[in-house]
Amino acid sequence: MRTIGMSDYTVGEDCFDELPGALAEYEATKVAIIGGKRALAAALPGIEAALAGTGVEVLETRVYGTNSTRANIAKVVNSPACQQADVLIACGGGKALDTVKTAAIELKKIVFTVPTICSNCSAATAIAVVYNDDGSLEGYSYPNRPAHIFINPKIIAEAPAEYFWAGVGDALSKQPEVEYATSAGNLEHTAGLGLALAHTCSEPLFTYGVQGLEDVRQDLSSEAVKQIALDIVVNTGYVSNLTNQNDYYYNSSVAHAFYNATCSIPREGTYLHG
């Protein structure tokens, strides 16, 4: 038996207007909001405005830390507010979202994601990266896919451009990596669907990438920024969920293996996943 679930998503500068309705679908009246410091500063005003007067109670707003380590995951798991919340709203980049997604496995909680940068596809995926305290790769966790994604192009456009650039790099790897990993053929339906969707990942980057990056450097929310954000978060995220199952793994190959390996060796500078 195979059951495939995909995240709902709302995109637009007014995306948080959909938050009360999305919570109502799960009969959720209590939430905890967890994310990076900068991410919370960017997303909280819109979230709080959307929830004002709805009867939804924000039990806690928590800065998760700076990396998706076991220690930071444990802080979320051990938080009384997170234990009591109906939904965990994760705000930030991949490490913040992966921390909350992994904690939600033990807490058995629904997760909504708010990618405040689009440096990778974590906001949509049923996989999370876990790092050791020294920054090296520990491995992966396999949470449920987030229930709903809220993509605000204005927040993404006003984030540092390096994250947008990294997201383009991450998304650019998806199509060739999946094509290579599935090159032996004989794919069953779900994997074949993942491969077909992978073929949609590269073209938006070539069409909108240069303009999108220039707009982000100008803090300008634009159609190009929106299209790139959708490609990085939704297209590649959905591919990840279709090509990563219990009985096969076609979600990545050489590019990701190279990056993961470099996390475990001394190197000058700081390098983002993409």
Residue 271: pLDDT over 90 = no
Type of residue at 73: I
191's enclosing H/E stretch is helix 189-198
DSSP line for 35-68? E-HHHHHHHHHHHHHHHTTS--EEEEEEE--SS-
pLDDT in tens, 128-187: 999 999 988 899 999 999 999 999 999 999 999 999 999 999 899 999 999 998 999 899
Does the structure show a pLDDT above 70 at 121? yes
* Other C-beta atoms lying within 10 Å of the C-beta of residue 165: 18
pLDDT, residue 253, reads 64
Based on C-alpha coordinates, what's the Rg of the chain?
18
At residue 263 the predicted structure's pLDDT band, cuts being 50, 70 and 90, is low
Q: Which domains, ranges and CATH numbers included, belong to the chain?
A: 8-157 (3.40.50.1970), 161-262 (1.20.1090.10)
Q: What is the pLDDT of residues 61-82, one digit of tens each?
A: 999 999 999 999 999 999 999 9
- Cα gap 63→145, rounded to integer Å: 22
